[in-house]
Structure 1
């Protein structure tokens, strides 16, 4: 008589849910449910140092062929719309999918409720933090961040509309929002764009040179392969650039 394969001590009797890893969710997706020569379905037992054949049989308590008795009623393993729900009464199928099937974590994964709850909580906390930051943010920084999202359309928005869309942005993508909120280059880019729009600075047609609009004096040459306003934001942090930045900020008020 074959030695019965032991189940891990941590095994829990509960309903389990499995999901296909692929982004596509076919109406029906069937994975192998028994070992054949064409489609091997084996599990290596580290204790006994042997390969064991797997077979899902609805009338058997074990997923291993050698431990099954009598006539086996074969069952199919079918994901519907990318999901397979297995109730706790079907322990043989659960163990096959969770412990032994070679396609686990390759074609499908088991839903981890604890991990998902932890991830959900972390996301909710980040969302709350982003919304609080957005609520307290001054209008100039809010405009700078929103410009990243919607471009020059921000110029035609009222302060209330900017704050509203900023809150929506923070809620929709809190991680990106918090990154932008901590990036001082975003606000410096916005100042550069506003300076050009207000005809304080001029940018050459080839986007390579910034100059004073009033007298045409060259201020800064954009390095090759760099975005002009990103390069300008970096230049504003230099000693020479800081003097120009201060002058621009006074004129924009």
Structure 2
């Protein structure tokens, strides 16, 4: 097998996604923002969506040229979800990769039930993914594209006081497997990444103060076999790998990117 020079390999990776249209939800911060920037560096044409236009603009600036196509919307709103797909197709004419990244988290247990909280989490973390994927599938079949869902170690392992969120991520993992099976004959791959604790803004709407959030992430370090939290770029690189041709024979997996959390004893 012919070996590539380091320079040639770097050039190849820079063009991994040249001409590919990638739609990323929840791209205004955290893992979604880092994923958008990383895909841009690999030559992708981006459609990024989120609720905060100002933050999306900042992410778009970091992506450079060509500038990502920005769509603001709330994934809990059916019309907004439909507009995300329709606008992307109208702008680019196709879709190659869908990254279902957007999610919300709220703390709660079976002893502190809130159906409003449960519905909000499932509407964003599961229902919107179902709807967006359904709308995207015809276009992904045309391009023989693929889907990467951003799940969580919470879909693989139970976490205390996080019941609805854990349930939503377990549902997303099963969704990944089922859709992978259904679309395999059409050469559309479907996978998910399951990050461990990654310091982002996801906890900002939980009612915790910034100092409390800092303490939570400090405590979460001990849940990982590697003894540290993850980094958004580590997750972004895994998403890009699963979406790339290097993973062309991989479908239906839920890949822990969790510093070994899933092998720690409960």
Normalising to structure 2: TM-score of the pair?
A: 0.23
Normalising to structure 1: TM-score of the pair?
A: 0.23
Larger Rg: 1
- Structure number with the bigger relative contact order (C-alpha 8 A, sep ≥ 6) is 2
